[in-house]
Amino acid sequence: MASEHNHNRRAGQLFVVATPIGNLDDITLRAIETLKNVDLIACEDTRHSRKLLGRLGIATPTISYHEHNEAARARELLTRLRDGADIALISDAGTPLIADPGYRIVALMHEQGIRVTPIPGACSVIAALCASGLPTDRFMFMGFLPRGGTSRSNAVTQLTGARHTCILFESPRRLPATLKDLHASCPPPRRLCVCREVTKLHEEFIHGDIDALIEHFAAAPPRGEIILLIAPAEQAAVDDEAILRHLSAPELQRLSTSERARQVAKLLGTAKARVYALAIGSKS
C-alpha cells in the first residue's frame, strides 16, 4: 500500500529563481514568495546564499549544488521532487544557469517529466545589453573567452565577423589582453562597451572604439566584475554580381530557386526577395 501511495503522490516542481546581482532591491516579490514556500533551496554556495536568505527572513532549508557535484546532486533532487517536494534552484547571483551550473539538473527534470518553472529577475547579461547603447535586436552571449591556444583564436575570429552584438564576461586582469587580441583581429572602427559592476554602487559604462578603450584602461586599470559588449561588424554592401556568383555555385544547383535564394540571402545578409528576383531574372 505504501508503494501505491508514493506512486500516486503529486510530483513537486523545480523553480529556477533569479536573485539580485548586486542591489538587493532587485529581488522580485514572486522570488521571495517562492523561496519562502518551497521545501528546499538548491544553492550554488550555501554559505553565500544564506546571507541573502537571512536578510529576506527566509528560513527554508538549503542544499549545495555546484559544478563538482551537479551530476550526483541532480539525481538526489529528482528523488525528492518525485516524492512531492518543491525545490528552488538559485545561483550566487542573477539568473541561474547563465555561465553557472544547473543545466544538467534542469535537463534531467525535463527528461523525467518534472515541471520546471522560471521565476525571472536580474540577469547581468541583459542588464548590460539594455544600457550599452549597442544593437539589441540580435545578440550572442559567449561567456568567458578561452584562456589561450587555438580555441581562443577561433573565438576571437568568430567575434570579428559577427553581425550581431556579442557579450562576454571577462576578468579585470585579463581585459587588457582581450582588448589587444580584438585590436589585432577587428578592423576599425568597432564600437565597444565595457560594463563594470552592473547594479552595484560603482556601476559604470565605458564606450569607445578598441583603441580608445585600450588607452583608457592603461591609464585606469579595470576593477570589479566586467561585461564586454562588442558591436556587430560593419556589413559591406552586397552588389548584384556577388549575389549572382553565389547563386551559380555548383553545390546549390540541385536546390529549388526559392531555397537557393534563401541560403544565399542568409549567407550574404541581404533580403531574400532581392536574391530571388535576381535568380529568376538570370533564367530569362
Identify the CATH number of the domain in which residue 37 sits. 3.40.1010.10
Count up the domains in the chain and report the number.
3
Q: Does 74 reside within a domain?
A: yes
Question: What distance, in Å, lies between the first and last C-alpha atoms of the chain?
Answer: 78
Q: What is the mean predicted confidence (pLDDT) over 201-220?
A: 95
Is 108 found in the same domain as 13?
Answer: yes
pTM strictly above 0.75: yes
Is 118 found in the same domain as 7?
Answer: yes
Query: Quick check: 4 pLDDT over 60?
Result: no
Q: Does 197 reside within a domain?
A: yes
Q: Which tens digits make up the pLDDT trace of 71-100?
A: 899 999 999 999 999 999 999 999 999 999
Among 216, 233, 225, smallest CA distance to 269 is for: 233
Helices assigned H by DSSP within the chain: 2-8, 29-37, 46-55, 70-82, 103-111, 124-132, 149-161, 175-185, 210-219, 240-247, 257-268, 272-283
Q: Which tens digits make up the pLDDT trace of 108-141?
A: 999 999 999 999 999 999 999 999 999 999 999 9
CB atoms within 10 A of CB 87: 22
Query: Quick check: 3 pLDDT over 60?
Result: no
- In the chain, pLDDT over 70 holds for what percent of residues? 94
Cis peptide before 176 (omega within 30 of 0): no
Q: Does 235 reside within a domain?
A: no
CB 73 within 8 A of CB 42: yes
Give the integer Cα–Cα distance in Å for 109 and 106.
5
Q: What region, left, alpha or beta, does residue 60 occupy, with left being phi > 0 and alpha being psi -120 to 50 degrees?
A: beta
Q: Which of 122, 137, 155 is the last residue of a domain?
A: 122
Confidence of residue 240 (pLDDT cuts 50, 70, 90): confident
- Average pLDDT across the chain, whole number: 91
CB 271 within 8 A of CB 265: yes
Is 148 found in the same domain as 245?
Answer: no
- Sort strands 40-43 and 62-64 into parallel, antiparallel or unpaired: parallel
Q: Does 26 reside within a domain?
A: yes
Q: Which of 122, 150, 180 is the last residue of a domain?
A: 122
Q: Which of 122, 154, 184 is the last residue of a domain?
A: 122
Q: What is the mean predicted confidence (pLDDT) over 175-180?
A: 95
Domain span including residue 76: 2-122
The reported pLDDT for the residue numbered 281 is: 81
